[in-house]
Chain A
Amino acid sequence: MTSASAISITGLNKAFGDTSVLKDISLEIAPGERVVVIGPSGTGKSTLLRCLNFLDRPDAGVIRLGDLTVDAKTVSHADILALRRRTSFVFQNYALFANKTARENIMQALITVKGQSKADAYTRAAAILDETGLTKRADAYPAALSGGQQQRVGIGRAMALDADLMLFDEPTSALDPEWVGEVLDLMRRVAEKRQTMLIVTHEMQFAREIADRILFMSDGQIVEQGPPEQLLENPQDKRTKAFLRRVA
């Protein structure tokens, strides 16, 4: 399945109190493009993703997603819902619905948000459980799942939404090392479908493999961007060089 809508972000600004966290970010993402964001801690990577679905409310900026245009200055409640329904989010701490089983986590939004019948949602969830290798654990509650399984449910829940843009905020950072591989494998399979993805990660090898483009963020700005070989092998900005030296 290929997402059809291009994404365009213009002049995105966000401050927490007096601290400016996003400084006039502009970014275009083509349909099917897989973009990875890297950068030091506290530079606004999470905030960028969270502003794109208004988990954090941007102070200014325009987000275009296909025919949907959302201006932070004039945004309505309906705009926010529409934006959230065309994006999906994978959280660092999984954030599964604690009172729902793995299967119900995947079905939940299909029924309540997309208005699908229970039977349709069940069929879709079964397919996703199969794809994420969770069929056997379908009726387990999150508390009974390993970190890797929980994050695979988290990705499955996001996949079910058929979003124009999937946002991943450090999906493997909270995992014990033993579970990182299975989650990255699942993300690779999502990427192979040319699903439009915006991924914050510290997994450089993974980024190099799947990214069409890597953005380096520092201090609330996109400092430098390019295809993985270019950005990782031949960075131009001294902040990029310093960061890559540290994580290499």
Chain B
Amino acid sequence: MRALDLEYMWDLLPVLIGYIPLTLFMALIGMACALVLASFMAVERIFRVPVLDLFVRLFISFFRGTPLLVQLFLFYYGLPQVLSFLTSINGVTATIMGLTLHFSAYMAESIRAAILGVDRSQWEASQAVGMTQFQMMSQIILPQAARVAAPTLVNYFIDMIKGTSLAFTLGVTELMGATQKEAAGSFLYFEAFLVVAAIYWIIVEALAFVQRHLEIYLNKAHAR
């Protein structure tokens, strides 16, 4: 047993903090794309558009049914071999793509469940005043479903932030990759990974704080 090298940890901290923007960048872009794709698929699953429905179901089944790491390797190492225009897909792009597709499959299911939970009266009232289906979904149904789905979606976002650490397997020097390199140089693995664990932890806790405020905001229509 040896003492922790606190000085090393302290010096490492600013180095690793410098990689937070890349991690957040991948997670935020991934989340934004996943939200759009998931909402689209959720609405499709409700209306069951012929043919398209088959593809959406297959998509959701595949991306929920296989590991994220496998999907990332498939995009980064596999796709360029069959699609020649992708000769050099960069690791960051492949990660964002993988996170988007993987998490959109899960998010589509929770958004769909939230939509189905919106009271029938809300659909009928929208129809009765003459709204188009698009107006009904975008202004009445989805905002109400968002309130129900929000806690689950934030949890997926948290998973996504942690999921960005897999980018290091595609050769991206992000938070995890940088830590790996630093640790390999100093041999102080325990210290290095402790610091990176703390950084992820703090990011997620900060997000949980945002989540509480988001929920208060979304629930304002339901306060008595």
Question: B221's contact among A55, A95, A141, by CB below 8 Å, is which?
Answer: A141
- Any chain A CB within 8 A of the CB of B144? yes
Chain A residues lying within 8 Å of B135, measured Cβ to Cβ, are 112-113
Nearest neighbor of B119 in chain A, beta-carbon distance: A98
- Any chain B CB within 8 A of the CB of A81? yes
Cross-chain contact B125 with A143 (CB below 8 angstroms): no
Chain A residues lying within 8 Å of B128, measured Cβ to Cβ, are 53, 55, 84, 87-89, 91, 95
Interface size class of A (residues with CB under 8 A): 20 to 34
- Any chain A CB within 8 A of the CB of B50? no
Minimum CB–CB distance from A59 to chain B (whole Å) comes to: 19
Nearest neighbor of B143 in chain A, beta-carbon distance: A99
Q: Which residues in chain B, 94-131, are within 8 Å of chain A measured between CB atoms?
A: 119, 121-122, 124-131
Question: What DSSP secondary structure best describes chain A's contact surface?
Answer: loop
Cross-chain contact A84 with B129 (CB below 8 angstroms): yes
Cross-chain contact A144 with B140 (CB below 8 angstroms): no
Minimum CB–CB distance from B146 to chain A (whole Å) comes to: 9
Q: Which residues in chain A, 44-99, are within 8 Å of chain B measured between CB atoms?
A: 53-55, 81, 84-85, 87-89, 91, 93-99
Once A98-B119, A99-B221 are accepted as A-B contacts, the answer to whether A113 and B124 lie under 8 Å apart by CB is no
Chain B residues lying within 8 Å of A141, measured Cβ to Cβ, are 220-223
- Any chain B CB within 8 A of the CB of A221? no
Minimum CB–CB distance from B49 to chain A (whole Å) comes to: 15
Cross-chain contact B124 with A95 (CB below 8 angstroms): yes
Q: Which residues in chain B, 125-182, are within 8 Å of chain A measured between CB atoms?
A: 125-132, 135, 139-140, 143-144, 147
Cross-chain contact A109 with B130 (CB below 8 angstroms): yes
Minimum CB–CB distance from A140 to chain B (whole Å) comes to: 10
Q: Which residues in chain A, 144-196, are within 8 Å of chain B measured between CB atoms?
A: 144, 157, 161
Question: B121's contact among A95, A109, A157, by CB below 8 Å, is which?
Answer: A95
- Any chain B CB within 8 A of the CB of A13? no
Cross-chain contact A81 with B130 (CB below 8 angstroms): yes
Q: How many residues of B contact A (CB 8 A)?
A: 23
Once A95-B122, A95-B125 are accepted as A-B contacts, the answer to whether A85 and B222 lie under 8 Å apart by CB is no
Per the bound structure, the CA–CA distance linking A97 and B223 in Å amounts to 15
- Any chain A CB within 8 A of the CB of B2? no
Chain A residues lying within 8 Å of B125, measured Cβ to Cβ, are 89, 91, 95-97
Chain B residues lying within 8 Å of A109, measured Cβ to Cβ, are 129-131
Chain A residues lying within 8 Å of B121, measured Cβ to Cβ, are 91, 93-95
Cross-chain contact A108 with B122 (CB below 8 angstroms): no
Nearest neighbor of B222 in chain A, beta-carbon distance: A143
Minimum CB–CB distance from B160 to chain A (whole Å) comes to: 27
Per the bound structure, the CA–CA distance linking A108 and B122 in Å amounts to 13
Chain B residues lying within 8 Å of A108, measured Cβ to Cβ, are 129, 139
Cross-chain contact B124 with A91 (CB below 8 angstroms): yes
Question: B130's contact among A85, A94, A100, A101, by CB below 8 Å, is which?
Answer: A85
Cross-chain contact A98 with B131 (CB below 8 angstroms): no
Per the bound structure, the CA–CA distance linking A134 and B6 in Å amounts to 65
Question: Can you name 14 A-B residue pairings with CB atoms under 8 Å?
Answer: A54-B127, A55-B127, A81-B130, A84-B129, A84-B130, A89-B128, A89-B129, A97-B122, A97-B140, A98-B221, A99-B221, A108-B129, A108-B139, A113-B131
- The 3 closest A-B CB pairs, nearest first, are A95-B121, A85-B130, A109-B129
Q: In the complex, given contacts A143-B222, A157-B129, what are 18 additional A-B residue pairs having Cβ atoms less than 8 angstroms apart?
A: A81-B132, A88-B129, A89-B128, A91-B121, A91-B124, A91-B125, A94-B121, A95-B128, A98-B222, A99-B140, A100-B140, A108-B129, A112-B135, A112-B139, A141-B220, A143-B221, A144-B223, A161-B129
